[in-house]
Structure 1
Amino acid sequence: MEQLTWSAVLLLLALSVRETFTQRIIGGQEVERYSIKYQASIQYNRNHYCGATLIRPQWVVSAAHCWRPAQLIQVVLSEHSLVEEEGFEQVFNISKIFVHYSYNYKTFNNDIMLIKLSEPAKLNAYVQPAPLPEDDTPALPGYTTCTVSGWGVTRIYSYFLSPVLRAVDVQTIPYCHHYYYWRITDNMMCAGSRFGGKDSCQGDSGGPLICNGNLEGIVSWGISCANPYFPGVYTQVRMYVRWIDWIINSDNPNN
């Protein structure tokens, strides 16, 4: 009963952030099994509550608001179904967690954290890291097509996670501050559909937004889901490439 209570609390915490801000896959479809090789699931007691992205064999990146004590969580790679064991999962305990030193839990600025796995992942046909963008390249142009993936809810106002990994194509939305005014910082980017109906949602938080083959965004926050007037807000990864490299190299120069 205690384990069930903890699972329910963690799921409700993960779900609550997006209605007053977090996310899920709306308007997408189930992906081909193991086709999104960098996708990770952060779990408590084998219950998914946030997404993450493998960027090095022993490192995943996620949203800082997905933080939980390291001893309580695990990271699962090569996961497709949350309800059945498929035999290809790689399950890891957590060695260390690095939340960005300037993360603001009220504004979601600098909503990024690095998780060091207990051991390196076995890279194979189902598990591969996602490339990071170059930090000195121009920002993505507006309306660039990107893909966001996760196990989040598939209907607005639902609290039931998708049992399988899903994805949807969205577009980067320029002039993000026109939608959210002062809430948007240079460390954030918006993506969605100009017509609504496509978005990430509760349970997708921390997961990847891939544009032109690179990890450009981390699912962070928003108002409602799939609303044309309020696109999803993502941590802009290119703003943190140097920080990511610094953390990894400082922790282990040979990693």
Structure 2
Amino acid sequence: MCLYIFLHFLGIYTAVAMESGIIGGKEAKPHSRPYMASVQQNQGHICGGMLIRHDYVLTSAHCFNRRDFSGQNHFEVLLGAHNINKQEKSQQRIQVVKYIRHPMFEQNKDDYSYDIMLLKLKTKAKLNTFVKMMDLPTKNEKTPANVKCSIAGWGLKKQNEKHPTSLLQEVSLKLQENSKCKEKWQNHFNSERMICSVSDGKHAFCQGDSGSPLFCNNKPQGIASYTYPGNCTFREYPEVYVKISFFLPWIKKMIGKN
């Protein structure tokens, strides 16, 4: 069951779905990414995320909306997991008590350059070998093109598969030049608040991996946001991420307030 969200004119797919998608990658070494979070609705994976404080996970704004958060829906994050379909001793399942989307995304849900959200957890995560916080960049700086990066998530290893894998997958990607991202995505790409990766037709994030962190030079640089409709590995269109460092002041302010 896929949830595709369309942007104006280009019909962009965001990468949120009930199944994940790391394409062209490999299984990650178990617990090699202890900051990773599986954001779940009624114990079903919907997005990736990253633990940045004992009680905060950073993810994509489009993963939740007010209608989803009310009623019978139950949102949690699963930490310390490698296989999200097994009850591993390393896992911690913590309820989400509040979600804080960027106010500019609240005002205009077609502007994915503000596709960022904080999840406040009901209880603090217990830090150990399997669950660790990831430090954010210390300042807003430009990451040059062609830098080797990586992203991880739970799910499909091929775009047309019907059943996602439950094991954490990872894939290496390279950053694309902002000018080429802008040329392809036009008004949907903001070079101040976004970065994008080269589409080589073989390696990609896909449906379900929204919110997963993109790492470059061993630092979290982006949050997976959207890709080309119906074809995550389409060579003509780079994959797009929200630039974490741009939002550092907002993240610190929100954590301080809440």
Which TM-score tier does this pair reach, normalised by the shorter chain?
0.7 to 0.9
Distance 1:20 1:161 in 2: 22
Q: Return the letter of the residue paired with 1:190.
A: C
What secondary structure, in the 3-state scheme, does the structure 2 residue paired with 1:126 have? coil
Query: 39, 43, 47: which one pairs with 1:42?
Result: 39
Alignment RMSD (CA, Å): 1.7
Unaligned runs of at least 5 residues, structure 2: 16-20
Counterpart Cα distance in 2 of 1:245 and 1:91: 25
CA contact (8 A) 2:196 2:240 kept: yes
Alpha-carbon distance between aligned partners in 2 of 1:98 and 1:107, rounded to the nearest angstrom: 16
Measure the CA separation in 1 of the matches of 2:12 and 2:156: 16
Partner of 1:162: 165
1:63 and 2:23 aligned: no
Matches within 5 A, 1:146-185: 146-174=149-177, 175=179, 176-185=181-190
Identity of aligned residues (%): 32
Counterparts of 2:101 and 2:111, CA distance in 1: 15
Partner residue, 1:52: 49
CA deviations 1:160-208 (Å, max 9, x no partner) are: 3221100001011112112212210121110134x32111000111111
Cα deviation, 1:26-64, whole Å, max 9, x if unaligned, reads 110001111111100011221111111111111001000
Tell me, which stretches of 5 or more residues in structure 1 are unaligned? 1-10
The residue aligned with 1:5 is none
Q: Is the 8 A contact 2:26 2:171 kept in 1?
A: yes
Residue number among 77, 90, 93 corresponding to 1:75 in the alignment? 77
**Secondary structure of the corresponding residue to residue 102 of structure 1:** helix
Q: How far off its partner does 1:159 sit?
A: 4.5
Give the secondary-structure state (helix, strand or coil) at the position aligned to 1:49: strand
1:204 is aligned to 2:209: yes
**TM-score after normalising by structure 2:** 0.86
Match of 1:222 among 224, 227, 246: 227
Q: Deviations over 1:142-162 (max 9, x none)?
A: 011111110132212444322
Deviation digits for residues 43-97 of structure 1 (CA, Å, limit 9, x no counterpart): 1221111111111111001000001417621100011112221221100011211
1:124-135 counterparts in 2 under 5 A? 124-135=128-139
Q: Of residues 16, 20, 27 in structure 1, which corresponds to 2:12?
A: 20
Q: Distance in 2 between matches of 1:243 and 1:159?
A: 38
Letter in 2 for 1:172: L
Cα distance per residue 1:86-133 (max 9 Å; x no partner): 221100011211010001322322000000111111111111111211
Contact 2:50 2:213 in 1 (8 A): yes
Query: Which residue in the other structure is 2:18 paired with?
Result: none
Q: Alignment partner of 2:256: what SS?
A: helix
CA distance in 2 between counterparts of 1:129 and 1:44 reads 22
For 2:244, the equivalent position in structure 1 comes to 237
Aligned equivalent of 1:93, options 83, 92, 95: 95
- Give yes or no for contact 1:42–1:74 (8 Å, CA) kept in 2: yes
Distance across 2 between alignment mates of 1:129 and 1:34? 13
Give secondary structure in 2 for the equivalent of 1:109: helix
